[in-house]
Amino acid sequence: MAFTIKSPADSEPRHAGSYPTYHALWHLERLGVVTDLTRFSSPDAWGKVASGNRKTRVALIDTSVDMTHPCLAPAVNRGLAIDFAARDLGVFTIPRCDLSGAEAQARAGVIADAGAAAGSGDGTRDRFLRDLGQAHATQEGARAAAAGAFSGHGTSMAGLIGARPASGVYLHRPARLSPQPRDAGESEVALPYAGIDPFCEIVPISTSAMPNADQMTAALAYADLIAADLVVLASALPDPTRAGVGLVPATPPDTGMVPVGQTATGAEAVPSDAATLAAWDALDAAFIDLSSRRLLLCAAGNAGDGLIAYPANLAAPDNGIMAVGACTSDGLRASYSAGEGEGQAVTLFALSGDAPAMDAADFRLDPFAEIDNADQKALFDRKGASPVAVETLITTDVAGRPGYSSSAFGQVWRDTPGPGGAPVAFEFASFFCEFSGTSAATAVAAGLISLGFSAGRLDRATPPSAIKAALTGGQPYDGARGLPMLTWESLNSVASA
């Protein structure tokens, strides 16, 4: 009648809010990056990264990233970070006056590169590069909309990909808990979190949710300009004709189902004019063009239906675009993930969290959640009911009240610094959060591929479509189990191919 769970978690009481405990970095072991979660030895992955190598450069097109997070500060390239939310042609996230040394040099370098790469054409790419080539003049007076507080999604993506463990962090010790009431102070701790490739560098490219194709076209041109080894895009873009809102029979009908564009439904609030449609066409061409040089990882979408988000639905064997779906710790496709079956296939799956689902096809419930309602408990006895996977990915979060994890404290850092002027935090939990969805899966895939470059298992000179083919080639597709699943082993097969 009721399902059974074949794992040690089975011993947990049901419906009581009592969840099994797991290591926050469980995914590193499951992915094969580290061999155990006590010693963290990683002879084939982290151990193969030579310290003198060029860092793998990951362009993260997302919200802004909280660059002050102790685990992310060493991973983020501040000099190159750029924002398109506050200015269509972009504005550097960190003002020039706040940069020095190598960061200032990197800034000057990219401006010079833009000037050299700019053509005289009228297209968005050329306009953007010409503007960037004169950034000191054109960005005068502009500033980025990249406040750390509203950087939750990007901060979580960046953490899974490339966070570094942070030491020298102090936690405030409240007086009331110490043996001697006046003995308030601080304890030195560490933030023992690592992304999958803690050797890479991340360049945050922040965009807004505004349905503006030019903004994204410029963002892609920037990722190309800075020679990113891979480009990560975990969002669905509202292209009026390519982002479907539903599936209808194609014409002629026997060719299957095709997505209905938003224009075709007539539901658009502001009808697309010719110029707008041309801008989206240009963006579409830019995706394909960029993917011939840079591997482009796109989240397949969390709609839980057959529709794959745009631009993930551009993935094809002859381009370097990968549509990443989500699979779970118990070896199934995540309930929300695209990629179920024929005609709706994603490129590959990567590890992420699960979510309950209740519909005619999928009946997946959280047996550990606190449920005091007999009606809801009875749902667990239905035919086909199965448990959700408990483990969720843990990643970095904006510290303090903003972000996915909140804080009970009104400020992150204590006013009085600790020993040697070190910052003292009131708590550490808000520095981390649970993160799920095909976004998280995309970050996991990006981390693995980045590590593949860093550890020399993937060759930066290999065309993106060839890397993609090698990662999935010959492996069976199983939309129910979420296969092929990207792990460190998958990259092994590339090396031997």
Instruction: Considering only residues 371 through 400, tell me which ones interact with other proteins, judged by CB under 8 A.
Output: 392, 394
Contact status: 24 vs other proteins (CB under 8 A): yes
Looking at 105, 167, 178, 376, which residue binds other proteins (CB under 8 A)? Answer: 167
In the numeric block, which tokens belong to residue 84? 């398109």
Contact status: 407 vs other proteins (CB under 8 A): yes
Q: How far is the CB of 116 from other proteins (least distance, A)?
A: 27
Residues 285, 311: Cα–Cα separation, whole Å: 11
Q: How far is the CB of 228 from other proteins (least distance, A)?
A: 17
Sites for other proteins among residues 216-255 (CB under 8 A) = 236, 238
Q: How far is the CB of 167 from other proteins (least distance, A)?
A: 5
Q: Is the Cβ of residue 209 or residue 278 nearer to other proteins in the bound state?
A: 209
Contact status: 85 vs other proteins (CB under 8 A): yes
Cα–Cα separations (whole angstroms), residue 105 to 80, 109, 229, 416, 457: 10, 6, 20, 34, 30
Half-sphere exposure of 438 (CA within 13 A, CB side): 31
Q: How far is the CB of 427 from other proteins (least distance, A)?
A: 5
The answer to whether the CB of 335 falls within 8 A of the CB of 361 is no
Contact status: 124 vs other proteins (CB under 8 A): no
Tokens 């094969």 locate to: 32
Cα–Cα separations (whole angstroms), residue 474 to 179, 327, 463, 484: 63, 19, 19, 10
Q: Coil, strand or helix: which one is 121? A: coil
Strand-pair category, 82-83 with 201-206: parallel
Residue of 369, 439, 419, 367 lying closest to 168 (CA atoms): 419
Sites for other proteins among residues 190-209 (CB under 8 A) = 190-194, 198-199, 201, 208-209
Residues 333, 431: Cα–Cα separation, whole Å: 29
Per-residue x/- mask for other proteins, residues 310 to 349, rule CB under 8 A? Answer: -------------------x--------------------
Looking at 104, 357, 404, 492, which residue binds other proteins (CB under 8 A)? Answer: 404
Tokens 């979190």 locate to: 193
Residues 313, 315: Cα–Cα separation, whole Å: 5
Looking at 69, 125, 127, 164, which residue binds other proteins (CB under 8 A)? Answer: 164
Looking at 57, 69, 87, 364, which residue binds other proteins (CB under 8 A)? Answer: 87
Q: How far is the CB of 223 from other proteins (least distance, A)?
A: 19
Looking at 368, 380, 453, 488, which residue binds other proteins (CB under 8 A)? Answer: 368
Contact status: 357 vs other proteins (CB under 8 A): no
In this structure, what DSSP letter does residue 76 have?
B
Per-residue x/- mask for other proteins, residues 28 to 67, rule CB under 8 A? Answer: -xx-----xxxxx-----x--x-xx--x-------x----
Q: How far is the CB of 469 from other proteins (least distance, A)?
A: 27
Residue of 70, 77, 34 lying closest to 54 (CA atoms): 77
Looking at 133, 152, 387, 447, which residue binds other proteins (CB under 8 A)? Answer: 152
Residues 133, 110: Cα–Cα separation, whole Å: 8
Contact status: 488 vs other proteins (CB under 8 A): no
Residues 282, 233: Cα–Cα separation, whole Å: 17
Residues 492, 289: Cα–Cα separation, whole Å: 28
Q: Is the Cβ of residue 227 or residue 250 nearer to other proteins in the bound state?
A: 227
Print the SS3 string covering 157-178: HHHHHHCCCEEEEEEEECHHHC
Looking at 2, 102, 112, 149, which residue binds other proteins (CB under 8 A)? Answer: 149
The answer to whether the CB of 37 falls within 8 A of the CB of 25 is yes
Q: Is the Cβ of residue 340 or residue 397 nearer to other proteins in the bound state?
A: 397
Looking at 137, 275, 360, 408, which residue binds other proteins (CB under 8 A)? Answer: 408
For the chain, the farthest-separated pair of C-alpha atoms sits apart, in whole angstroms, at: 81
Radius of gyration of the chain (CA): 23
Half-sphere exposure of 266 (CA within 13 A, CB side): 0
Contact status: 453 vs other proteins (CB under 8 A): no
Looking at 150, 170, 280, 336, which residue binds other proteins (CB under 8 A)? Answer: 150
Of the ranges 19-27, 111-119, 287-295, 371-379, which one interacts with other proteins (CB under 8 A)? 19-27
